[in-house]
Amino acid sequence: MAIDDTQRHAKLQDLYELAQGSEEFEGGVTFEQEMDALVVGNWAFFAIDEIGDLALSFHLDSHPVAVARLTRFLVQHEVPFVLHEAFTIDDDDEIVFESDTGAQFDEPR
Looking at per-residue confidence, does 107 or 32 come out higher?
Answer: 32
Residues near 91 by Cβ (< 8 Å), separated by ≥ 6?
Answer: none
State which H helix or E strand residue 32 sits in: strand 29-32
User: What is the distance between the alpha carbons of residues 5 and 27, in angstroms, rounded to a whole number?
Assistant: 27
Condensed to tens digits (0 to 9), the pLDDT of residues 28-47 reads: 999 998 888 999 998 999 99
Residue 102: the pLDDT is 59
The pTM for the full model equals 0.79
Condensed to tens digits (0 to 9), the pLDDT of residues 50-66 reads: 889 999 999 988 999 99
Give the confidence band of 94 by pLDDT, cuts at 50, 70, 90.
confident
Residues near 15 by Cβ (< 8 Å), separated by ≥ 6?
Answer: 38, 46, 54, 79
Closest CA to 56 of 90, 79, 28: 79
